[in-house]
Amino acid sequence: MAEKTDNTVKVNVEIAGRKYSFTITPEDEELVRKACNTLNARMQDLGRLKFNDSFDHLATAALQCLVWFFREKKRDVSGNLIREIQFLDSQIDDYIKNDVK
């Protein structure tokens, strides 16, 4: 449930069976809910592992999510770099074609 205030939204979520309340921007509400759902799903997947308590499941799930995040971020940076190089390459080709004439 979200409670709206000025430019923020108060969001209540559950992580690892505990309830938390966050005050965030309305644009982030869907992302926070998705993040909580993903984290809870990862914890459930890790349930087969024999940890001492739920904190170990939470820490492992959070680590896995962050590794995935950083991998995707690195991939996106690489993709942007490739696109920029391709753009510069096409500009050089255009310059050469127009200058030669």
Task: Find where tokens 């190089």 sit.
Answer: 85
Q: In whole angstroms, what is the distance from residue 44 CA to residue 34 CA?
A: 15
What are the tens digits of pLDDT across the range 60-84? 888 888 888 888 888 777 777 778 8
Q: In whole angstroms, what is the distance from residue 72 CA to residue 21 CA?
A: 28
Average model confidence (pLDDT) for the chain? 84
In 3-state terms the chain splits into helix, strand, coil percentages (rounded to 5) of 70, 15, 15
Bridge partner list, 22: 11
Q: In whole angstroms, what is the distance from residue 43 CA to residue 64 CA?
A: 10
| pTM over 0.75, yes/no | no
Task: Find where tokens 């942007």 sit.
Answer: 80
For 60, the token pair is 């492992």
